[in-house]
DNA sequence: TCCTTATAGAAAACTATTATCCTATGAAAT
DNA sequence: ATTTCATAGGATAATAGTTTTCTATAAGGA
């Protein structure tokens, strides 16, 4: 039994346990969300599902995913750079993400625990930390190779709105803006 | 000379150096952005400025802030939970943020460098990290006190859309959803 | 099988943001 | 001083993801 199969069973059990109806549309959405390859967006889920459900409304996808989010069974990740929200139904708890700014692939890197960082923040500020989000933006190995070689070759991953060429800057800690889109200049940052 | 004064001078110098006109409206926006108390939104900047410029259009605020962002002089932070983008013109480079989920105050905590974390990710995945974003969500000391005491007392900070009561859960690493809004149930997360 | 009611689907409504249009401004050039 | 003309401000329209509203339908229990 694969991990996503177990996850699917769990999601089904949660819905049925709460007396929510398990419609064919919902089941299909659960299947996609339980796998969550590449952290799908509403639009992507919708496009996949209309193959099997040509009459499905995108509102249904919104409503089902929102329901899962409210049940704590899906993690919502907003990506304002591309103007969509993406969802992780395989790991519904906060965890770091690694995003390639060129081909837009999204990974769940296995970093160390963020607990020490969180505890430092709590100690120094008096906050009680409840949640967090860490996103690392950069170039995946494939896109790095493509970068130095021919400047051509289209991106690997699926839907790309338009030209997402990046500004070619490297940095360790103080780096390009959060939305490394098509900014005009090299953005010469300075630390205080 | 305060830190924000120095920052204002810098912003003015940048605009003038690039041969952008330093209009009264822009100067007023620069002043607010250079201070960046609480990481203002476009709407908040607009509301402050229309006291001095009753005829100002919100489009002007959008255009000026966007210009500063493209010049790398302002950090844009999208907060989908409240449906707005906020701006930090005092520290235009990526840095962690601490957000109170109740009163919505936003702080720049002084944590250690994220460089080791970033390098770990780079080593393990082959990515070239260019940028990052770390947000910690929780309860500020004031709101913690208000929490255990009377369940009443309105939030301290400015605009709050509606009831942002939180689910009262504590956690260190695996915590409530990223948007700890008015979710229905306690969200019983499980790690794999 | 029947009944109750949550849900699907279609479309309108919403809203932060962006683009467009036009006029005003102001820094040169004459 | 006058003309020029690119830039900027103000008003408004357009965009797009998301939410809401309404009604017919079908899930699931009796
Ligand atoms: Mn993930
Ligand atoms: Mn900040
Ligand atoms: Zn890539
Ligand atoms: Zn607070």
Which residue from B99, B177, B85, B87 is spatially nearest to B135, judged by alpha carbons?
Answer: B99
Please tell me the CATH code under which domain B94-159 is placed: 3.30.1490.190
Domain limits of chain A?
A: 1-92, 94-178
Each of the 192 residues of chain B gets a pLDDT tens digit; together they read 788 899 999 999 999 999 999 999 999 999 999 999 999 999 999 999 999 999 999 999 999 999 999 999 999 999 999 999 999 999 999 999 999 999 999 999 999 889 999 999 999 999 999 999 999 999 999 999 998 766 554 444 333 332 222 232 323 333 333 334 333 333 445 555
Answer whether 0.75 is exceeded by the pTM.
yes
Residues B148, B185, A132, B192: is their CA dihedral positive or negative?
A: positive
Shortest CB distance from A185 goes to which of B71, B78, B119?
Answer: B71
φ, ψ for residue A93 (rounded to 5)? -105, 160
- The full DSSP string for B141-191 is HHHHHHHHS-S----SSS---S---------SSS-S-SS-SS-SS------
Q: Determine which of B132, B172, B185, B189 to mutate to test the interface with A (most A C-beta atoms within 10 Å).
A: B132
Condensed to tens digits (0 to 9), the pLDDT of residues A127-153 reads 999 999 999 999 999 999 998 765 554
Name the fold adopted by A1-92.
Arc Repressor Mutant, subunit A (1.10.10)
Nucleotides of D under 7 A from a protein CB: 7-12, 16-21, 26-28
Query: For B62 and D8, how far is CA from C1' in angstroms?
Result: 13
Torsion of CA B42, B48, B49, B53, to 10 degrees: 130
Query: Does the nearest atom of strand C lie within 7 Å of B16's Cβ?
Result: no
Query: For A63 and D28, how far is CA from C1' in angstroms?
Result: 20
CATH architecture of A94-178: 2-Layer Sandwich (3.30)
- Which runs of E-coded beta strand occur in chain B? 75-79, 84-88, 97-100, 106-107, 128-139
Residues A68, A69, A73, A77: is their CA dihedral positive or negative?
A: positive
Question: Minimal Cα distance from B136: which residue of A?
Answer: A132
- Structural contact between residues A177 and A184, judged by C-beta atoms closer than 8 angstroms: no
Residues in chain A: 192
Neighbours of B161 (CB within 10 A): 11
Please determine whether the domains at B1-92 and B94-159 fall in the same fold group of CATH. no
Torsion of CA B38, B53, B18, B70, to 10 degrees: 40
How far apart (Å, rounded) are the C-alpha atoms in residues B7 and B13?
10
Query: For A171 and D9, how far is CA from C1' in angstroms?
Result: 38
- What integer pLDDT is reported at residue A185 of this predicted model? 33
Q: Can you say how many angstroms the Cα of residue A163 is from the centroid of all Cα atoms in its chain? A: 20
């Amino acid at each position: 039994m694969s991990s996503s199969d177990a996850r699917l069973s769990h999601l089904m059990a949660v819905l049925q346990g709460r007396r929510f109806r398990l419609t064919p549309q919902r089941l299909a959405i659960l299947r996609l969300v339980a796998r969550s390859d590449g952290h799908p967006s509403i639009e992507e889920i919708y496009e996949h599902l209309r193959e099997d459900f040509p009459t499905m409304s995108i509102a249904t996808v919104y409503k089902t995913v929102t329901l899962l989010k409210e049940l704590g069974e899906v993690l919502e990740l907003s990506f304002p750079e591309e103007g969509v929200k993406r969802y992780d139904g395989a790991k519904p708890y906060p965890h770091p993400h690694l995003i390639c700014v060129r081909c837009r692939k999204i990974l769940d890197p296995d970093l160390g625990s963020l607990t020490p960082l969180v505890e430092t923040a709590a100690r120094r500020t008096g906050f009680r930390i409840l949640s967090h989000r860490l996103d690392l933006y950069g170039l995946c190995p494939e896109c790095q190779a493509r970068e130095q070689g021919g400047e051509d070759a289209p991106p690997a991953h699926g839907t790309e709105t338009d030209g997402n060429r990046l500004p070619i800057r490297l940095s360790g800690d103080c780096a390009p803006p959060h939305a490394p889109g098509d900014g005009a200049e090299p953005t010469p940052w300075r630390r205080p």
